[in-house]
Amino acid sequence: MSGKVTNIDEMTLSGTKDGKISITTVSQPYGPKSEPVASIGISLQAGAEEPDWKVHIPKANIDAVIKALQKAKESL
């Protein structure tokens, strides 16, 4: 990942001792001229330099992902 990372929010990962969910934006994540993305990272331990899992969501997909997550929440 080559772009600038901007921290948006961080929260405790439920069900873990010290895990966290981090939300960032990344400009030019795949090199020059690549579109910015929102990034959701999951770290199972505090102090990790990089998340254990990460997903990049293009701006055009954020609303649909939020809607799908709301449906998933309702079904839990």
**Position 1 pLDDT exceeds 70:** no
What distance separates the 2 farthest-apart alpha carbons in the chain?
Answer: 40
Residue 68 has pLDDT above 80, yes or no: yes
Q: Per-residue pLDDT averaged across 61-72, rounded?
A: 98
On the question of pLDDT at 57 being above 90, the answer is yes
pTM assigned to the model:
0.88
Tokens at 45, concatenated: 């331990």
User: 12-48 pLDDT, tens per residue?
Assistant: 999 999 999 999 999 999 999 999 999 999 999 888 8
- Residues 43 and 20: their CA atoms lie apart, in Å, by 5
How far is Cα 54 from Cα 58, in angstroms, rounded to an integer?
13
Q: Which residues contact 20 (CB under 8 A, 6 or more apart)?
A: 10, 11, 12, 13, 42, 43, 46
User: What rounded mean pLDDT belongs to the chain?
Assistant: 94
